Amino acid sequence: MVKKEFSTKSGFLHFPIFASLPEEANYIKVAVSGEVKNIFAINIAKNRAQTTFYAPLDIKRYGTEKITLICDDEDATENLFDLVIEGGSVFEEKELYPDLYKEEIRQQVHFSPARGWMNDPNGLVFVNNEFNMYFQHNAFSNHSFGYPNIGWGLAKTKDGIHFKEYGDKILTDDTKFSIASGSAIIDKNNIAGFGKNAILAYCSKLYCRQFKGRQNATSGGGQNLYYSLDGGMTFTPYENNPVIPVPEKMEWRDPKILQLDEKTLGIAVYETFEDKNCISIYKSYDAKNWEFCSRNFDFYECPDLFKLKVKNSDEEVWALYGANGVCYIGTFDNFVFKPVGESCFVDYGICVYAGQTFNNFGDNEKRIYTAWLCDWEHDGWKFDENEPHRKFGFSQSMAIFTEFTIVKTESGYKLLRAPIEALKTLRGDKREVGLQNVKAEAPCEIAFTLKKGIDAKIRVDSVGFDYIGDEHKIISTTSRQGEIISDGEIEVRIIVDNRTTEIYVANEMVLSFNGKKENVTVQADYELKGEYYPLKSIWENI
């Protein structure tokens, strides 16, 4: 056993990380007054030359100035913790975190964590006039596969553009499981009995790979309830978790919580039934005991289910989609969702996954949406020592916030998606440009208008869409296609960042693509001019 006590009034420990395989990590216990609070798997560098980057541990979460690090692994060396540094935040320790938020692969108008791997947005809830955006986070590695460290990180934003990070808020208490995706809601009516306006968070526990002789779990840990009495800054696990268990060898996951009336909650969970993927719906009157109600097939992972008032109408309808963003509009009566009409897409590009909308936003005509922008060129699921970005201590980013609305047309209901207005506040000085091979220097926005009814071809390097004039629709380079609802000219906005490109069409559709893109070209049988805006970094004043 290797043990070392740290006493820090500055609030943080900084671990030297060696970017390597998860099976080479050590299991590190964090103990306070002899009680183990967390166990992490961390690849601690053995010397300074081996250090790829540093990663912080916030000691304040334990409510003490003294903690003890312990490692029971047989291969742990006596000097394992000698290079762990006591200090201030990542902003104060500039030598440990040089060029923070200015790294060459850092997205400048999209949220990404200061350190660690990030994927699905979780627990999206609007509370105290702020967006609480939780997300899947491995704080001690820039890849994910095999680590029990995954929990819910937290970033907050008031305007949907600028974020402040607050560390991990829900972490596993068992290294056999990580904390997977889920959702949250404000319990305004004290349905759960924890107190009025408690935040109820529902998340899955998923089994993860075990190393150094530890026994693997044989099934997932089910759907678990955590509650917060301080606006989502700290969470307590419900004592009788899981509230929805899973059968042996199953990994059912990703609960989406919704409130139907003052006494009734619903939850949508990704499950399998007779070897088919489905979204299962449950109901509860106390937030703790859940009853199965119905299933909808052909949905996979991370369901989102919500009600919206149809624009320019008194009618209300429901939307249901899974992680890949294939969406149905329909009815939701007696805990049964029935689609009406054909499916549509949340995104017409390729890199949006596991998107979610914010609960408790308070606008019955729109929902605020974000998603994980999968950066497959930097494949953080697995470790590859030759991966060129492995030296950076973070990975992945979140989509720019957008607004969902629903309209009714002659061909049925349509889910529309448009950028939030605050995105325009990042614009720098405008200049007019021709639209033939425009050099896009990230971060920037290029905006222009297409004439209705005349074909056009829009490309950012090799990705983009074709506008088919006589059908008034777009066909993405991913082959996804959709009809444009609005009449008249078509506004197009292209946001180019260091790792992604998002194209907004007519305030109705979004096409998201990963990878660095540099050249914008628009082809049409008429002269086209555009507006070019350099964009201010969201990290400018952090």
**What pLDDT is recorded for position 65?**
86
Query: What share of the chain in percent tops pLDDT 70?
Result: 99
Whole-angstrom distance between the N-terminal and C-terminal Cα of the chain?
40
Residue 195: the pLDDT is 97
User: Could you read off the pLDDT of 124-166 as tens digits, one per residue?
Assistant: 999 999 999 999 999 999 988 778 899 999 999 999 999 999 9
Q: Rounded to two decimals, what is the model's pTM? A: 0.97
From 531, 459, 448, select the one nearest 491 (Cα to Cα): 448
On the question of pLDDT at 384 being above 80, the answer is no
Q: Would you say residue 387 has pLDDT above 80?
A: no
Q: Stretch 274-302: mean pLDDT, rounded?
A: 97
Which letter does DSSP use for residue 466 in this model? E
Res 385 pLDDT > 90: no
pLDDT in the model for residue 267: 98
Which pLDDT value is given to residue 381?
A: 66
Q: Residues 439-460: what's their mean pLDDT?
A: 98
Q: What is the mean pLDDT of residues 11-35?
A: 94
pLDDT digit string (tens) for 80-112?
999 999 999 999 999 999 999 999 999 999 999
pLDDT digits (tens, 9 = 90+) for 294-307: 999 999 999 999 99
Residue 28 near residue 72, CB atoms below 8 Å:
no
Residue 444, token pair as written in the block:
């920037």
- Mean pLDDT of the chain, nearest integer: 95
Residue 379 pLDDT class (50, 70, 90 cuts): low
Structure tokens at 77: 């060396």
What whole-number distance in Å separates Cα of residue 337 and Cα of residue 330?
A: 7
CA distance 280 to 336: 10
Query: What tens digit of pLDDT does each residue of 457-505 get?
Result: 999 999 999 999 999 999 999 999 999 999 999 999 999 999 999 999 9
